Structure formats: C-alpha cells, structure tokens
Amino acid sequence: MGSCLSAESRSPIPGSPCSPAFGVRKRKNSKKRPGSRNSSFDYRREEPLHRVPGRMFLNGSSDVACIFTQQGKKGPNQDAMVVWENFGSRTDTIFCGVFDGHGPYGHMVAKRVRDNLPLKLSAYWEAKVSVEGDLKAITTVNNASSINNSEDAAASFVSAEEEPRLPVDMEEENTEESHSELFQTLKEAFLKAFKVMDRELKFHGSVDCFCSGTTAVTLIKQGQYLVVGNVGDSRAVLGTRDSKNALVAVQLTVDLKPNLPG
C-alpha cells in the first residue's frame, strides 16, 4: 500500500482512496468483516497472556525448545503454535501445541484455541489433582486412626534413628500406580478441555465456526513422561536414536480424518 500524498504538496490527491470524499463513500459502502468487531478487545484481553514468562507463540527458541513457521504465498498463515515452559507452575512440565486452521476464519480459530485450550487444560488438571489430594489425605488419616486404635499399634512404630523402608516390590508397585494416576488425570483433563473448547467455539459471537475450524495436536511432558492429545490430522513426531545411533522418526499420533475406519 503506497501513500496517496503528492510529492510536492503532501496533500491528498483528489479522487484517491485517501481523499475525504472517497473516504466517506468507502465508509458508507464498506461492510464490516465478521470476526473483526472484537479484534481490538481480544488483543487487549490476551496481551497479559502473551507476556507470561516461558510462553512462546512466535518464532523463537529456548534452552529446551524451539518453534518456527514460515508464511506462504496463498493467503493468511492459518497455523498457530505454542510452547509453554513451567506449565501449570510446575518446573518439570512443558506444554506444546500446534494448530492448523482451515476455512475462511481458520486463522482466528487456531489462535483462539492456542490461547484458551492450555488454560483450560491447566485448570482442569489442577482441580483434579486437588480433589485427589484431599481424598488421599482423608484416607491416610482414617488409616492412621485405625492403626492407633488396634492392639498391635506398638509394633508399627520405629525408632527415630531407624528409617522405615518399603519392600522393593511395594516401591515398584507404588511407582507404577503413580504413573497410571498421572496418565488417567491428564487423559480426563485433555478430554474435558477439548470438549469445552469445542463448545465455546460453536457459540462464539464474532467468529463463524460452522465452516471454519482447526486441528490440534498437543502434548504435555512432565519429567520423562509424555502424554499426547490430538484432533484432526496434525501429527506429533518423536525423534529418537536406534541401535546404530541413527536418527529415527516415530509418529506418536494417528491422523483423524473422516474416512478413518471406526
């Protein structure tokens, strides 16, 4: 878009798109694009989110992750992405997501899901953990109470110098149980967050999501564990090494397409 001012007078050229008469006619005849009505409001509301430390949504890198996208030539870039370190205020947890929009307003849907889905996932995860923690605390208190009331309570005490140790089999069993609980908790959080996000998009006032949408491939890495949740045909691929130390790509997700059996 070039300037409509002449080089000599720096005033609008009559009949140009910047001249007053033309501008009035343009405002009268122009139609407001659906989805643009609340764009400035959405930006002001989402600006604090974009300032969160450890959250990347543009091309960049950190000590543990990097993200990159390149604008094509066929229209607006409808891809959105995010890497969120210290996710949910957990220092050992990272959230990653890629969202490929489609349809007239796919770029808006992808960005909205990028900004809102992680917040919902974190909230449901935290709520689930809090409830489970309260239930475990109640169970522990009840068990301790029953032990103290038994006739063999004295046998359950150990001296201050001696550390109580669980048998190896019991330690492994507890570890497997904690892994299973983590997976089940994240599975429920993923399902609930995806479902609520989909419902919000359907009833969004300024974005028509009937003909527009987005894929979503998301993952949470906590320590050495990786949990993936996805919708659509965007893929998660793990790079690893084989026995010969050659780099191997392992696909972690199944492309969800309309013609997928079952």
**Nearest Cα residue to 222 out of 127, 125, 123, 137:** 125
Q: What is the mean pLDDT of the chain?
A: 77
The matching CATH number, chosen from 3.20.20.300, 3.30.310.220, 3.30.365.10, 3.60.40.10, for 37-141+172-232 is: 3.60.40.10
pLDDT reported for residue 169: 59
How far is the CA of 227 from the CAs of 97, 134, 194, in angstroms? 12, 24, 15
Q: Count CB neighbours of 203 within 10 A.
A: 7
Q: Are 114 and 80 spatial neighbours (Cβ–Cβ below 8 Å)?
A: yes
pLDDT reported for residue 75: 83
pLDDT reported for residue 210: 85
pLDDT reported for residue 194: 97
Q: What is the pLDDT of residues 18-36, one digit of tens each?
A: 444 444 444 444 444 455 4
Domain residue ranges in the chain:
37-141+172-232
Q: What is the pLDDT of residues 90-132, one digit of tens each?
A: 999 999 999 999 999 999 999 999 999 999 999 999 998 877 6
| Residue numbers in the chain where pLDDT is lower than 70 | 1-46, 132-175, 262
